[in-house]
Structure 1
Amino acid sequence: MLKQRVITALILAPIALCGVFFLPLHPFSLFIAGVILIGAWEWANLAGFSAQPARIGYSLSVALALFGATQISAQSILWSALGWWLLALGLVVSYPASAGLWRSSLVRLLIGYLVLVPAWVGLVLLKSHPDSWILIMFLLFLVWGADVGAYFAGKYLGRHKLAPKVSPKKTWEGVLGGIVTVVLVALVAQPYLPFKELGPLLGVTVFVALVSVLGDLAESMFKRERGIKDSSQLLPGHGGILDRIDSLTAAIPLFALALMVMAG
């Protein structure tokens, strides 16, 4: 399993980094759209549809939604993402009682749009920023740092469960370890970032770390209700695309929104 994970990571990481650094905006948006559509194919399964025609049809509907998103204000889409993730927080905290609100396959399909479309919009918006590669890499390091810090802090210090009915292994100590890690990342990266003051940077950093945890928990909640461990088996040793980007689906749009608000 470890060998599979390493091999898959060694293949995927250069592809992702080349996309960030070398693709112009339009090809980049298509590249990320492809990733999102694979995620949509997996999401249809989370919603209860295992037949391929239904899953492919849902992916095509998400493709139409991505096109539609180009015709309206990016800011309105990012604000809608904030609304969804605030609601998701309540659903995760109150699970399994909350499952009655979203157990319907149709509701879960609609939630997929709220998860996937703003993530694409936010990442394309970051790519269009003059400091695009710095901001995207910083965001990736924040999400990775939160995950790695939480893993080690939770493994060696974890005592108090964060959301035992959703993800039994996550702990509050892990969350704190992730926050400490991303704060260190921000302090190192600050001279290279378009943030004039340290206070707002640290605020955004902690905010992104917390919402990345929420993104992970939300997908875990949907997988638990569906009775599956991974969103798919597309990535040997890693599960599916959604299993790799669950934290990013929350972090990307809210990081982009925070930048938008700070820019006035």
Structure 2
Amino acid sequence: MSTPQPQMPQAAPTTWQASSGPSYPTYTSPIPVVRTHLGHAIASEWTKIRSVRSTMWTLGVFVLLVIGIGLAAGALVAANSGEESLAGENPLSFGFFGLLLGSMCVITLGVMTTASEYGTGMIRTTMVACPSRGRVLAAKAIVFFSVAFVVTLVSALLVALADVAMLEGAKEPSAQEWLKGTVGISFYIALLGLLSLVVGSIIRHSAGAITIMIGLVLAPLVIALFMFSASLEDLRQALFEYSIPNQLSVFYSNSLTETGPSGWDPLWIALGVTAAAFAGAFALLEKRDV
């Protein structure tokens, strides 16, 4: 005879009823909600560029090259030249050598400002924090250009003041020469670095972008030196005239050629090329994945 099993009590059917009021009391966050803008992106990029070691090392070498070579060139000329031989010489022009070598540091820093984030994958975090890609590129450009311009201006000005004081027999630079030899050349170097930043954004590879920019600086002049054929004379002359070393020398009224860019022309050329490259980088940034 089987033992009857105890019967479990049946649960009463549950009736779900929507609540007519809020389930939780109203909560207001103490953190203010603000609409993000370009200023926030600039603050973020400023934190990045000043917190990485490569910035301090690169700019430190740049300052050392510009000031060290500029002062050494001025001191060497002052020690081995008389006042008569210095007559008519622009004392600001001896800063050219240091700035030409120092531009490699600015190029390197410009490339690393963008390309290094692609190499480490940090760009994904950046784009999550700021989905507006154009805003990120603009913030990087503003921060980098400001840093490069200020550092170059201070270095070039110190060299200019020291060389003018050392070379007593040289002519006194005019106001136009002071402006071109300090502010003008600083704008040009900063634009060269900004072009490097844009190329880094396009290439997304540090070594490749740096190689391209160094080639842009040195290749036209080196290629022109080995063009011996008479049929290539026009091309050879154009490469000389528009090479970056020659354009740098124009700011000191000491052009390597008698024709070609003069006055403020190199600055407008650099500005146009950089603007075109920036537009291309912006278009590619919107189309490609990060």
* TM-score normalised by the chain length of structure 1: 0.35
Give the structure with the larger helix fraction.
1
* TM-score normalised by the chain length of structure 2: 0.32
Work out which structure has the larger RCO, using CA pairs closer than 8 Å and 6 or more positions apart in sequence: 1
Q: Which of these two proteins has the greater Rg computed from alpha carbons?
A: 2
